Amino acid sequence: MFFQFIDILGTIAFAISGALVAMNKRMDPFGVLIIAFVTAVGGGTLRDVMIGIEPVSWMRNMTFVYVIIGSATFAVILKNRINYLRKSLFLFDTIGIALYTVVGVETGLIAGLHPLICIALGTMTACFGGVIRDILCNEIPVIFRKEIYATACILGGLTYFLLLQFLDEKNYLFIIAGLVVIIVRLVAVRFKISLPSLYKKDETSKLD
Amino acid sequence: MFFQFIDILGTIAFAISGALVAMNKRMDPFGVLIIAFVTAVGGGTLRDVMIGIEPVSWMRNMTFVYVIIGSATFAVILKNRINYLRKSLFLFDTIGIALYTVVGVETGLIAGLHPLICIALGTMTACFGGVIRDILCNEIPVIFRKEIYATACILGGLTYFLLLQFLDEKNYLFIIAGLVVIIVRLVAVRFKISLPSLYKKDETSKLD
Amino acid sequence: MFFQFIDILGTIAFAISGALVAMNKRMDPFGVLIIAFVTAVGGGTLRDVMIGIEPVSWMRNMTFVYVIIGSATFAVILKNRINYLRKSLFLFDTIGIALYTVVGVETGLIAGLHPLICIALGTMTACFGGVIRDILCNEIPVIFRKEIYATACILGGLTYFLLLQFLDEKNYLFIIAGLVVIIVRLVAVRFKISLPSLYKKDETSKLD
């Protein structure tokens, strides 16, 4: 119940983030809807297909389709009031990856998969929709910029399994793991933290 | 029977369109064959995988494989007679999306999915092969140019379900829905019709 | 037994090739791990999903996950000793496609598919991981450079089915088919052999 609620909230966040990027590229109404749709269902579709949950989730539950159409319409109508697009995009995208990480991890658990696989599924669910969104809109995929992004999802997933040893109440686990994703990403972007480099400063590329 | 005939016609149209783009990029013979193949089966593969029809259609029926090899060979042999490549490409691509829209919608219906999902499946079946073709050949994907493209497929799918209320004979439905796709696209390109813009003229991008 | 051994060797080769390209792009540690992972499992995932083997192989057998993490770590630690990155990359990539061609063909056979489909599956298994690796790292996908690449896999697959008429011992078949892939690619790159062109020299592109 609470789990599906998280899934729908994530869908709203990603649908809005997709619509924002598409509108910024000045796409026509159908283009905005298609990008909103792909952003919202991309990660979950990849996850479901790889696990073998078919037809994939959004095909069996029309709620997702209506929620995406509603969210995209909402973003289009309010676009002149969403003045700070870059900030809004960051906000909805961050909420989206937090919620979808939890959804992906839990879906893997329900399918009886190994914790490491579940964390990979959570990260994929969270990141893949945004990657497709950015590729289709010809932006540099958010996952390949210098920021902490997939790493936040991996840490959220790890938190989930660490706490699973101590906590029985799943709903708290969902909330805490999601908050870890959001906080890691917020702190990393705010303080420009990145992972330690593998390379010395004066080392030049050897392939080129 | 007639349904499979449409599927094969669509396969021919897309295999030729793929071969044309690949030859224009001066690919070697295997490259032309691979692009023809991917263009022809890409959309249907995505559709089948998401519904859970596996192994995907073209793996279970060798007709498709032989038809694609034949069509690509045909395109290679006749390439010097196909003088107006851009027009030929437009022609085969348009026939392809019309036929595949119908195939995708009907496949969704057979799987017992909701009409809106069927229209989405029709649009994906029609558009995805061409998108992969263009990405692999480093062309701007046809779906993201300013023309009406996916919109034509969506309208064809809507027509199908509107007429389904009144018509019993599926074969007529297939033909009418396919013609709607072709006519919408032809008229839109001929008269340079595009969807109404969401943006005011003097509005500039806020993200950049 | 021997078959799974080949699969794991291929996984090691591709994980290292992925880590090398990612390090050359100076990605952070998680980025290197993710690219190693995607390169190693990409082709097999596409194959499994299209056949309907789900959850896909690497989700059901943690050996693959541990092998990939180990290989990527190994590549990171030894990176300063791997002086000739381009040569190392070529080596591991070539071993990878040889082993994965065999794995893909055999997986198709086990699923009871037609020989032509099995060859297509072998080629996909071999080539797709490298294509994703190159796209994600913003390199020109190896499959679209002028060299013989997919063609070597197709020839290896053909060899497999030709010899299947005469040889009963699968393990020999695996080795011979794999060697054909490696030799074809080595010879083609060494002597700059490419497929005969479909085009006359003075022929210019008609689409542009």
Tell me, what's the pLDDT at B167? 87
Confidence of residue B85 (pLDDT cuts 50, 70, 90): low
pLDDT in the model for residue C142: 73
Mutation for A interface: B45, B127, B143, B144, most A CBs within 10 A: B144
Instruction: Say yes or no: A49 contacts chain C, CB-CB below 8 A.
Output: yes
Confidence of residue C200 (pLDDT cuts 50, 70, 90): low
* Model confidence at B18: pLDDT above 70: yes
Among A51, A198, A199, select the one facing C54 at the smallest CB separation.
Answer: A51
Instruction: Identify which of C26, C37, C45 has the shortest CB distance to residue A199.
Output: C26
Q: Decide if C39 contacts C135 (C-beta within 8 A).
A: no
C76 has a chain A CB within 8 A of its CB: yes
Do the domain assignments include residue B76? yes
Give the pLDDT of residue C50. Answer: 97
Judge whether A197 lies within some domain: no
Other beta carbons within 10 angstroms of residue A180's beta carbon come to: 22
**3-class SS letters over C4-57:** HHHHHHHHHHHHHHHHHHHHHCCCCHHHHHHHHHHHHHHHHHHHHHHHCCCCCH
Q: Is C55 on the interface with B (CB under 8 A)?
A: no
Least confident segment among B193-202, C143-152, C175-184: B193-202
Q: Is the pLDDT of residue B86 over 80?
A: no
* pLDDT value of position B146: 67
Q: What is the mean pLDDT of residues C60-85?
A: 86
Measure CB to CB from residue A151 to each of C30, C59, C84 and give the nearest one.
C30
Q: What is the pLDDT along chain A (208 residues), one digit of tens a residue?
A: 788 899 999 999 999 999 998 888 888 888 889 899 999 999 999 999 999 999 999 999 999 999 999 999 999 888 776 656 678 888 899 999 999 999 999 999 999 999 999 999 999 999 999 988 888 887 777 776 667 889 999 999 999 999 999 988 889 999 999 999 999 999 998 888 877 777 765 555 445 4
How many Cβ atoms sit within 10 Å of the Cβ of residue B61?
14
Q: Is the pLDDT of residue B166 over 80?
A: yes
Burial class from Cβ neighbours inside 10 Å (0-12, 13-18, 19+) for residue A162 reads middle
CB-based contact C206 B85, cutoff 8 Å: yes
Number of structural domains found in chain A: 1
Distance from CA of A49 to the nearest CA of B (A): 6
Mean pLDDT of C149-167: 93
pLDDT per position as a tens digit, B45-63: 999 999 999 999 999 999 9
Per-residue confidence (pLDDT) for residue A146, from 0 to 100: 67
Task: Judge whether C42 and C129 are in contact, CB under 8 Å.
Answer: yes
Q: Which of A49, A52, A114 sits opposite C62 (nearest CB)?
A: A114
* Arithmetic mean of pLDDT over chain B: 88
What DSSP character marks residue B142?
G
Q: What is the DSSP letter of B144?
A: G
Q: Is C144 on the interface with B (CB under 8 A)?
A: yes
Range of the domain at B108: 2-190
pLDDT at B208: 45
Rounded to two decimals, the ipTM of the complex is 0.85
More confident residue, B196 or C62: C62
pLDDT band at C89 (very low <50, low <70, confident <90, very high): confident
- Asked, for residue A138, whether it belongs to a domain, the answer is yes
Other CB atoms within a 10 A radius of the CB of residue C203 amount to: 12
Assess if residue B202 is contained within a domain: no
| C73 vs C90: CA distance, rounded Å | 19
Indicate whether B81 belongs to any domain.
Answer: yes
Put simply, whether A193 touches C (Cβ < 8 Å) is no
pLDDT for res B16:
93
Q: Do A114 and C76 touch (CB under 8 A)?
A: no
Residue B100 binned pLDDT confidence (cut-offs 50, 70, 90): very high
Residue of C nearest to A199 (CA): C26
Residue C56 within any structural domain of the chain: yes
Q: Indicate the range of A81-85, A95-99, B202-206, C73-77 predicted with least confidence.
A: B202-206
Distance (Å) from the C-alpha of residue B37 to the closest C-alpha of chain C?
Answer: 10
pLDDT at B207 over 70: no
- Please give the residue that has the higher pLDDT: either B77 or A178: A178
User: Beta-carbon neighbour count of residue C165 at 10 Å?
Assistant: 6
pLDDT confidence tier of residue C83, bands split at 50, 70 and 90: low
Please state, in angstroms and rounded to a whole number, the distance separating the CA atoms of residues A125 and C93.
Answer: 28
C88 CB within 8 Å of a chain A CB: no
Greatest mean pLDDT among B189-203, C46-60, C185-199: C46-60
Whether chain A has a CB inside 8 Å of the CB on B52: the answer is yes
Backbone angles phi, psi at B123, to 5 degrees: -65, -40
Collect all residues of chain C within an 8 Å Cβ-Cβ radius of residue A125.
none
**Which chain C residues are closer than 8 Å to A111 by Cβ?**
55
pLDDT digits (tens, 9 = 90+) for B168-185: 888 999 999 999 999 999
Please name the residues between 157 and 186 in chain B that touch chain C, using a CB distance below 8 Å: none
Structural domain contains residue B198? no
More confident: B104 or A85: B104
Measured from the Cβ of residue C205, the count of other Cβ atoms closer than 10 Å reads 11
Q: What is the pLDDT of residues B188-197, one digit of tens each?
A: 988 888 777 7
Residue A3: per-residue pLDDT: 87
Residues of B in contact with A34 (CB under 8 A): 150
For residue C160, pLDDT over 90 is answered with yes
Record: contact B59-C198, CB cut-off 8 A = no
Q: So what's the pLDDT on residue B82? A: 63
* A17: contact with B, CB 8 A cutoff: no
pLDDT at C25: 83
Residue C48: count other Cβ atoms within 10 Å of its Cβ: 26
What is the arithmetic mean of pLDDT over C7-14?
95
HSE-up (13 A, CA, CB side) for residue C108: 28
Model pLDDT, residue A73:
94
Q: What is the pLDDT of residue C208?
A: 45
For residue C38, being part of any structural domain is answered with yes
C127 neighbourhood in chain B, CB within 8 Å: none
Lowest mean pLDDT, pick from A80-94, B32-46, B86-100: A80-94
Contact criterion met (CB < 8 Å) for A30 and B151: yes
Query: What number is the average pLDDT over the span C185-205?
Result: 76
- List the structure tokens of B21: 């783009």
Mean pLDDT of B134-145: 76
* Cβ-Cβ contacts under 8 Å, C136 against chain A: 144
